[in-house]
Amino acid sequence: MDVVSLSTLTQEDSHYVERMSQIPDIRQSRITPIQRAIDSNSYVISPENLANKLLQELHSQPQETRPPTDS
């Protein structure tokens, strides 16, 4: 018979789990101003900034998670 033993969380692990549970999933302080700008039709997206951010994100991903290229 095989036996698997799982260790319990250490006190430090529990501390980090508790802290993570206190972080909101949605950062309302960032969303509210953007939502207001969208609602007032004043939200402007820079195509250059968007392209740069997309390229930065693409290059920061490990090769195996990147979308396939046509090359």
Selected residue with higher pLDDT from 56 and 66? 56
CB-side neighbour CA atoms (13 Å) of 58:
9
52 pLDDT band, cuts 50/70/90, is very high
Contact 43, 34 (CB under 8 A): yes
Q: What local confidence, expressed as pLDDT, does residue 20 receive?
A: 84
Summarize the confidence of residues 47-53 as an average pLDDT.
Answer: 94
- With bands split at pLDDT 50, 70 and 90, how would you rate the model's confidence at 36? very high
Name the pLDDT band for 24 (thresholds 50, 70, 90).
Answer: confident
Positive/negative CA dihedral, 21, 23, 28, 34: negative
Phi/psi zone of residue 9: left (φ > 0), alpha (ψ -120 to 50 degrees), beta? beta
